Amino acid sequence: MPHLSLYRKYRPATFAEVVGQEHVTRTLKNAIAAGKVSHAYLFAGSRGTGKTSTAKLLAKALNCIEGPTAEPCGKCESCTGISAGTSLDVIEMDAASNRGIDDIRDIRDKVAFSPVGGRAKVYILDEAHMLTKEASNAFLKVLEEPPAHVIFVLCTTEAHKVIPTIRSRCQKFEFRRPSADMVLGVLSRIAAAEGIAIDEGGLAAIARNSAGAFRDAIGTLDQLATYCDGEISLADTLALLGAVPSDLLFEAIDIVAEEDVRGAILFIDRLAGQGRDLSQFGEALIGHLRNIFLLQQLNDADAGLDALPAEEIARLQSQARVLAPAQALRFIELLLKAQGEVKLGGGPRLQLELAFITITRPEVDMSTKSLLFRLERLENGGPRPAGRDGGAGAGILRDTSAPSADVSAAPAAPEPVAETARDAPPELTIEKISRAWGVILSQVKKKKIPLYSLLLECRPIALSGNVLTIGFPAGAEFHKGQVEKPAYAAIVQETLKEVTGSGLKLVCVIDNKLTAVKEEKRSSSEEVIAMIKDEFGAEEV
């Protein structure tokens, strides 16, 4: 006899054995107990989450000799027939291959016949979204008013493709993707029942690789039991899955933390020499960086890290301390960009090399994000380990080790009206803002070109508390007045927040000590007015 697959052998026999879908099973059990079973259900969710198994359990509950009952016996002729797929009262159809109008007409002609041995005739329609438009329309009438003994269960992985008129006639249940820990629990139970010797690391790797599909995970365990003679090691599991060993992921992050560009290129060369799938490696590295970034932000070993051994979590925590959060976030962005280029036809090796070189040598990248990242490093005196207070969200110019600058020589900033001055972060100084002024202007230019032109006239001259004073040279009164308008001032303050990480108030003054910009670069009042007219469709009064 052929081998009975484990995913078929261990299909849930009761509602209690359906893992991770308590919101579905509880509702169905209550409906059966109260005699309020609907004539049509729509089970939606990703593959391998238990949609068809739950539909068969519903059929068992309705046709069991002891039923209708929420706890079918599993031993009567009806229950065993449904489990074996031989029951004449449970008709399971694949809409992917029976999707035409003639197939639906066949159902419509047969629904009137009474059940053969049970109380209800249950139609289970897999991949219901594959029905053609004509077949779906033909199905509507029988779905809306079926005979009292007929129950329809439509299962689909893409509920949005089922036409709205069908969805409105069904009770819809969303089957949630189970966590890796849930899948791991099921695998451990099956391995123990079957006497399969496999270490915890191997089971965890299968659970993570299954992407929340019980059927895929159990099928992999079944395949491993045949592939290996004796105990199944983690190396055997990774070899069968084609998964990336965690040691390679940790090594990659160590190289990035040390900013070793030569080591990065040689590392990728070694991966290619081993015949590894570089796209798959990039995807695995993104997941590894996600775990590091979560640990940095939440400082919690249980921060969404599914099915990871304790020693691996400890190594992740160690890398989370040596890799700056901004660096981790930047590397994720670079790897995602590389994956996107590969999908468009780019070479996986070249794209991975570019991502590694860019993160280990930021100076080769002239994008705005890279410039901001490099600016932070300069302000902090070079690369530094990540602390729990650091991170991309801490502000581009923050440096907890830098003393406050002496701004006593700069003109005193006037007190803002109806605003109590608060202290700015001690690490933020007028010198830092001045050095970042070009970056700030470039960000403003992306939002409002007329405002950018106005700001070319001014310079930051003082920082007092949370009040930043910007000075305009004599003769730039018009530019000062325009920048002070609420709409423009709000944009400047928003940009300052984005770049510095601090909420600064803006004060504009005329400073006779400042030199006007060169005439060829300076925008006249007339030019600025013309830009404002063009921007807002305004008229000069």
- Segment (H or E) for 260: none
Query: Which H/E stretch holds residue 11?
Result: none
Q: What is the 3-state secondary structure (H, E, C) of 517-539?
A: CCCCCCCCHHHHHHHHHHHHCCC
Residue range 188-214: mean pLDDT, rounded: 87
Q: What spatial distance separates the first Cα and last Cα of the chain, rounded to whole Å? A: 94
pLDDT more than 90, % of the chain? 30
**Low-confidence winner among 22-26, 78-82, 267-271, 533-537 (lowest mean pLDDT):** 533-537
Per residue in 144-188, pLDDT (tens digit) is 888 889 999 999 999 999 999 999 999 999 999 888 888 889 999
* Mean pLDDT, range 193-203, rounded to an integer: 86
- Separation CA 231–CA 319 (nearest Å): 32
Q: Which of 184-193, 306-315, 317-326 has the lowest mean pLDDT?
A: 306-315
How many CB atoms are closer than 10 A to CB 327?
29
* Helices marked H in 344-448: 348-360, 368-379, 430-435, 437-447
Give the β-pairing of 505-510 and 459-464. Answer: unpaired
Q: Can you tell me whether residue 324 is helix, strand or coil?
A: coil
- Reported as a single tens digit per residue, the pLDDT across 477-516 is 888 988 999 989 999 999 888 888 788 899 999 988 887 5
Q: Which amino acid is at 59?
A: A
What is the average per-residue pLDDT within 55-84? 90
pLDDT confidence band for 44 (50 / 70 / 90): very high
Average pLDDT over residues 409-435: 56
Confidence of residue 416 (pLDDT cuts 50, 70, 90): very low
Q: What's the DSSP call for residue 172?
A: E
Residue whose C-alpha is closest to residue 89's, from 123, 134, 130, 129: 123
Cα–Cα distances (Å) from 347 to 276, 279, 352, 357, in that order, read 14, 9, 9, 16
Q: Is 123 helix (H, G, I), strand (E, B) or coil?
A: strand
d(CA 68, CA 501): 63
Residue 396: alpha-carbon gap to chain centroid: 24
Contact 366/282 with Cβ under 8 angstroms?
A: no
What is the H or E stretch that residue 69 is in? none
Taking alpha carbons only, the member of 189, 241, 223, 210 closest to residue 307 is 210
With a cut of 90, say whether residue 42 has pLDDT above it.
yes
Average pLDDT over residues 110-139: 88
Would you say residue 467 has pLDDT above 50? Answer: yes
Please state which of the ranges 75-79, 153-157, 158-162, 295-299 shows the lowest mean pLDDT: 295-299
User: Of 138 and 172, which is predicted with more confidence?
Assistant: 172
CATH architecture of the domain covering 430-536 = 2-Layer Sandwich (3.30)
CA distances from 428 to 169, 333, 371, 390, 455 (A): 61, 27, 18, 15, 21
Q: What mean pLDDT is predicted for residues 50-74?
A: 91
Cα–Cα distance, 320 to 298 (Å, whole number): 11
Mean pLDDT of 42-63: 92
pLDDT at 6 over 80: yes
Looking at residue 301, its pLDDT comes to 57
CATH of 246-379, one of 1.10.3470.10, 1.20.272.10, 2.10.109.10, 1.10.357.10: 1.20.272.10
Domain ranges of the chain: 6-175, 180-241, 246-379, 430-536
Question: Residue 61 in 3-state DSSP?
Answer: helix
Helical residues (DSSP H) of 258-345, grouped into ranges: 261-273, 278-298, 310-322, 325-343
Q: What pLDDT, on a 0 to 100 scale, did the predictor assign at position 350?
A: 93
Please report, for the chain, how many H helices and E strands are present, in that order.
24, 8
Q: What is the pLDDT of residue 171?
A: 93
Confidence tier at 304 by pLDDT (50, 70, 90): low
In CATH terms, 180-241 corresponds, of 3.20.20.210, 3.60.70.12, 1.10.8.60, 2.30.30.90, to 1.10.8.60
Helix (H, G, I), strand (E, B) or coil at 121: strand
| pLDDT, tens digit (0-9, with 9 covering 90-100), for 367-388 | 666 666 666 655 555 544 333 3
Q: What DSSP letter does each residue of 129-163 carry, written as one string? A: GGS-HHHHHHHHHHHHS--TTEEEEEEES-GGGS-
Kindly report the number of other CB atoms within 10 A of residue 345's CB atom: 6
Q: How far apart are CA 91 and CA 56, in angstroms?
A: 10
Mean pLDDT lowest among 221-235, 335-349, 404-418, 443-457: 404-418
pLDDT at 10 over 80: yes
| Mean pLDDT taken over the chain | 81
CATH superfamily of 6-175: P-loop containing nucleotide triphosphate hydrolases (3.40.50.300)
Residue 468 CA, distance from chain mean position: 38
Q: Which residues contact 502 (CB under 8 A, 6 or more apart)?
A: 395, 424, 425, 428, 466, 496
Q: Does residue 452 carry a pLDDT above 90?
A: no
Please count the residues of the chain: 541
Cα–Cα distance for residue pair 468/126, rounded to 1 Å? 64
Alpha helices, DSSP H only, in 303-416?
A: 310-322, 325-343, 348-360, 368-379
- pLDDT class for 392, splitting at 50, 70, 90? very low
Please give the Cα distance from 204 to 312 (Å, whole number).
12
